[in-house]
Amino acid sequence: MKTRRTQQERTAATTKDLVGAARAHFARTGYAAASLDAICAQAGITKGALYHHFRNKQTLFRAVYEAEQHRLRDAIADAFRACQDPWDGLRAGQRAFLTGSIEPGTQRITLLDAPGALGWAVMREVQADCRAMTRRGVEQAVHAGGESSVPAVELDAMASVVFGALCECAMAVAHAPDPDAVLAASLRQVDRLVAALPGAAAARAG
């Protein structure tokens, strides 16, 4: 006998369908040209149902942007955990973020459209998980390099430098006439940035 879904389960399923359809539509057409009617048709729901879950196109776009950031956060975490050495994990996580950010759909949503659709304050708020993941990676690597007494304020500053560099590199790749060349150069420079962190030299010597 098939169990009937609860209202909470139906709401979650509808929201997931909407965000998935919106993601495909925003990635294909861009935020400005996106049509809520087309998104509803793709998701197989009425426009009234959409407005039950999202106030307008901007709030729907924010949900899509949040999903993209969560995917990038998970990619960073997976790449870090796949490495035994925290320094290798930190570099792998940064590469995962950069390469994941320039997937065409993610690039259009997070780098090209989000600044205008959401604004920098909202973007920074949503990016907090990715930044926190970078902070944990920096802390583990620095401590593994023998710098266990580095104060929290310095670790916070290191994380800001590293994460800020990653975001700027991703934006540069998105707007570059030769994205592949800029990506390759960015990855090299990110590795050099990590190599300059406290404890990196001791880790290499060990």
How confident is the model over 41-85, as pLDDT tens digits?
Answer: 999 999 998 999 999 999 999 999 999 999 999 999 999 999 999
- Using one digit for the tens of pLDDT, what is the confidence trace for 7-24? 788 888 889 999 999 999
Which residues, 6+ apart, have CB-to-CB distance to 168 below 8 Å? none
What whole-number distance in Å separates Cα of residue 94 and Cα of residue 72? 10
Residue whose token pair is 């304050």: 121
Q: pTM of the predicted model, to two decimals?
A: 0.88
Domains and CATH numbers, the chain: 1-54 (1.10.10.60), 58-205 (1.10.357.10)
